[in-house]
């Protein structure tokens, strides 16, 4: 029996109990994603013995395998819904939030209950927030929402909902999705990237200048669309845009990669809000190059830089301790940490 057919067979109510028990023990010949989907289904089986076995198997399932599945764009809605509602793991919740395939309904439920750190991750996907106002409403009701998170929501509402509060204010129980679609219709976007890259000079400096002139003629909404869907060249310019929502949208682009974020972290002509978002992102600060670039950047908010210092190797920490271009509190903190490391070294 093909694997896809075997999963369908296991999911049927009429499947023999002995087959369900084999699957509930994790012994069915299924690929990892389908095996997890079968276990989640059997975990809710009306037969308490089967449900108990499936529950125990799920509890012992390797965390890495679960993370691999929920991070995939092809992950089934069943798995995303289950682990979003049952997992206490902050890492797992973050990956579910970052997965663009996670349904808005799942994000809505998470928005009302997750931690402040998870809310900051959730705020990275502006498209999702604009398309699903209930997510914004639930974040506002979440007791973990910080003043900074609420401020960002206020900016988002001001940019996209001002003047139309009666139509689709985020507190409305039944926002008018038709009106929202008019503002953000990703399915009917024109090919902005081709349009604005055509005919540009080949010299890098002249090319950037010409492209910046073209971008200056665009509306804020068009720039945000390009920030999300354009190429690397466009993102490198839009990350420096003076409008916060435009520059932040670059960080939400599904095309964004680690090398770009490393470059952004070193830029001294980006807004401190961008550096703060990168510094607060668990995803991006996994990269040592991002961490050291943020710490060395004088534009990085000192609180962010100081929090990252403990991650640095001694040679890099020593360089910061001597660097008079960075804020004084950061340099002094680096000096103290170097002294502490010197004291703690075995003689």
Structural domain boundaries, residue 343:
269-347
Give me the pLDDT at residue 224, please: 86
Determine contact, residues 260/232, Cβ cutoff 8 Å. yes
Give me the pLDDT at residue 258, please: 92
* 244 and 283 belong to one structural domain: no
Determine contact, residues 151/97, Cβ cutoff 8 Å. no
User: Which distant-in-sequence residues (6+ apart) come within 8 Å of 312 by Cβ?
Assistant: 291, 292, 295, 320
* 279 and 343 belong to one structural domain: yes
Q: pTM, whole model, 2 decimals?
A: 0.50
Residue 127 belongs to a domain:
no
Determine contact, residues 131/102, Cβ cutoff 8 Å. no
Residue 306 belongs to a domain:
yes
Give me the pLDDT at residue 175, please: 40
* 285 and 339 belong to one structural domain: yes
Give me the pLDDT at residue 107, please: 93
Residue 94 belongs to a domain:
no
What is the rounded distance in angstroms from the CA atom of residue 24 to the CA atom of residue 257? Answer: 39
What is the rounded distance in angstroms from the CA atom of residue 59 to the CA atom of residue 133? Answer: 34
Give me the pLDDT at residue 62, please: 86
Residue 86 φ/ψ, nearest 5 degrees? -120, -15
Exposed/middle/buried for residue 207 (C-beta within 10 Å: 0-12, 13-18, 19+)? middle
SS3 34: helix
Per the document, the length of the chain is 347
Q: Give the E-state strand segments of the chain in sequence order.
A: none
Last residue of a domain, one of 206, 227, 256: 256
Residue 229 belongs to a domain:
yes
Long-range Cβ contacts of 203-210 (<8 Å, 24+ apart): 208/237
User: Which distant-in-sequence residues (6+ apart) come within 8 Å of 267 by Cβ?
Assistant: 239, 240, 297, 299
Exposed/middle/buried for residue 297 (C-beta within 10 Å: 0-12, 13-18, 19+)? buried
Q: What letter would DSSP give residue 184?
A: -
Last residue of a domain, one of 231, 256, 281: 256
* 229 and 275 belong to one structural domain: no
Number of domains in the chain: 2
Give me the pLDDT at residue 328, please: 93
Residue 85 belongs to a domain:
no
Residue 53 belongs to a domain:
no
For the chain, residues with pLDDT lower than 50 are: 1-3, 163-192, 195
Give me the pLDDT at residue 138, please: 93
CA torsion through residues 90, 94, 95, 101, sign: positive
* 314 and 344 belong to one structural domain: yes
* 199 and 251 belong to one structural domain: yes
Give me the pLDDT at residue 17, please: 85
Residue 120 belongs to a domain:
no
CA torsion through residues 5, 11, 13, 19, sign: positive
SS3 323: coil
Give me the pLDDT at residue 10, please: 81
Residue 198 belongs to a domain:
yes
């Amino acid at each position: 029996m093909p694997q896809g057919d075997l999963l369908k067979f296991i999911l049927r109510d009429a499947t023999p109990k002995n087959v369900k028990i084999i699957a509930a023990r994790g012994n069915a010949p299924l690929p990892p994603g389908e095996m997890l989907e079968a276990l989640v289904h059997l975990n809710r089986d009306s037969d308490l013995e089967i449900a108990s076995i499936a529950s125990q198997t799920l509890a012992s399932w390797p965390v890495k395998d679960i993370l691999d599945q929920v991070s995939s764009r092809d992950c089934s809605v069943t798995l995303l819904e289950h682990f979003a509602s049952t997992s206490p793991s902050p890492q797992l919740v973050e990956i579910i939030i970052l997965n663009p395939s996670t349904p808005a309904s799942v994000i809505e439920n998470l928005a009302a209950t997750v931690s402040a750190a998870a809310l900051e991750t959730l705020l990275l996907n502006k498209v999702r927030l604009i398309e699903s106002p209930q997510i914004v409403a639930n974040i506002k009701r979440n007791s973990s929402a910080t003043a900074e998170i609420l401020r960002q929501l206020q900016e988002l509402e001001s940019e996209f909902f001002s003047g139309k509060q009666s139509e689709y204010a985020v507190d409305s129980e039944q926002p008018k999705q038709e009106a929202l679609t008019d503002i953000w219709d990703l399915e009917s976007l024109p090919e902005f990237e081709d349009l604005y890259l055509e005919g540009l000079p080949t010299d890098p400096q002249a090319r950037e200048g010409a492209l910046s002139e073209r971008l200056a003629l665009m509306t804020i909404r068009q720039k945000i669309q390009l920030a999300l869907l354009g190429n690397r060249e466009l993102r490198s310019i839009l990350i420096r845009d003076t409008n916060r929502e435009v520059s932040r949208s670059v960080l939400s682009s599904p095309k964004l990669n680690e090398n770009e974020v490393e470059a952004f972290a070193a830029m001294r002509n980006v807004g401190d809000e961008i550096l703060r978002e990168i510094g607060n992102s668990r995803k991006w600060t996994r990269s040592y190059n991002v961490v050291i670039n943020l710490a060395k950047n004088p534009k990085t908010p000192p609180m962010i830089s100081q929090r990252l210092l403990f991650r640095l190797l001694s040679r890099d920490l020593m360089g910061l301790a001597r660097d008079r271009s960075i804020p004084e509190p950061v340099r002094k903190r680096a000096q103290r940490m170097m002294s502490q490391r010197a004291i703690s070294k075995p003689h």
